[in-house]
Amino acid sequence: MAGLYIHIPFCHSKCSYCDFYSMPHTADIGKYIDALLTEWKMRQGEIQEPFTTIYIGGGTPSILPLDDIKRLIRGIGIINPAEFTVEANPEDVTPEWVQCIKECGVNRVSIGIQSFSDDELNRINRRHTGDEAENALETLREGGIGNISADLIYGLPGQTIDSWQLSLDRLVATGVEHISAYSLSYEPGTRLHAMLSTGKIKETDEDTVSEMYRRLTDSLRKAGYEHYEISNFALPGRRAIHNSSYWHFIPYLGLGTAAHSFDGKTRRANRRGIKAYISDIMSGKTFYDIEDENPDELYNDYIITSLRTAEGIDKRHFAGCFGDKALTDLRRDASAFLRSGKMMETPDSLFITEESFLISDSILVELIH
């Protein structure tokens, strides 16, 4: 199995916290779709396994004109993937949009809600309201989308523990199958980072963030969600198949500017730049840089991605990739965390406990080479 990721770099406007590569909605969309389909023809042979998942992300894929959505999906031509996800913003979800994607074979939508508080949404430059987000979820259901993932962010400027709990409760009440919840990070180059640097906003203190995380895990556990990855929760049988490929070293191909690929050994990173991407791809040139990883880099990637998951590191698979001595050394390096209860070991696996997910970076830095 393998995954196909397609990057749509267009947005209505830039959210204050976002550092992903995206640009304003422009007239280049049609030419960009042409380039995506050309790159697909050029590169689909890089992955030997069949493509079983598709993920169209961004940016904001839901702003694409319906004719371009149809042209892109039909041009890719993968029939009945096990999981086919498209990202959307609430303000773009209409009955016509839902009908279009469903007819094209999409069976999962990932919707960026972030908060149900209108004040919090305004502070991060989101275009929708809490009520509009809830209406969008209803529209998806009425249109026949039976697998919905929704994003929330905690630690937002002005957010309180109580307002966070209200957003959690409101989302859980909708019955979405999957929830991704992220602690806000202030990335250099974003508007929020500039506001923080100039004292216009204050970062949420660690104790509050920790309590928000506790509320998150407790609330979703009681509601029947599995906490299967640091930031991801799913009802039984509804884990994100495509995203899990990133955490389990499954090959994937990324199309579009700023997209990444991994064939099991070599990583390729497409460069940034919409106009340059269109020009090079339509001229028959590749647009990626090859990232040949040495054994230590592959080892570190394996550690970092695997320990994001509740199952952690499969010891037999790890030893098969890196050798029995590497497993012995890893168990030695993890011994202090095992004694403290921040990590656990079973006959089959090594994993970080749920209670320690928030401090996982401090654990990982001691385990990588």
Q: % helix / strand / coil in the chain, to the nearest 5?
A: 45, 20, 35
Q: In this predicted model, what pLDDT tens digit does every residue of 312-353 receive, in sequence order?
A: 999 999 999 999 999 999 999 999 999 999 999 999 999 999
Q: What pLDDT tens digit does each residue of the chain (369 aa) get?
A: 899 999 999 988 767 777 666 666 666 899 999 999 999 999 999 999 999 999 999 989 999 999 999 999 999 999 999 999 999 999 999 999 999 999 999 999 999 999 999 999 999 888 899 999 999 999 999 999 999 999 999 999 999 999 999 999 999 999 999 999 999 988 888 787 788 889 888 889 999 999 999 999 999 999 999 999 999 999 999 999 999 988 888 999 999 999 999 998 889 999 999 999 999 999 999 999 998 788 899 899 999 999 999 999 999 999 999 999 999 999 999 999 999 999 999 999 999 999 999 999 999 999 999
Which H or E run contains 369?
Answer: none
Long-range contacts of 189-198 (CB under 8 A, 24+ apart): 189/19, 190/16, 190/17, 190/18, 190/19, 191/14, 191/16, 191/17, 191/125, 192/16, 192/17, 192/124, 192/157, 195/16, 195/157
What is the number of other CB atoms lying within 10 angstroms of the CB of residue 337?
A: 20
With tokens 């090959």, the residue in question is 251
Q: How much is the pLDDT for 209?
A: 95
**188: three-class secondary structure by DSSP:** coil
Structure tokens at 10: 């267009």
320 DSSP β-pair partners: none
Residue 156 and residue 323: Cα distance in Å, rounded?
43
Q: Which two tokens stand for residue 129?
A: 């309201």
Summarised one tens digit per residue, pLDDT across range 175-200 is: 999 999 999 988 888 787 788 889 88
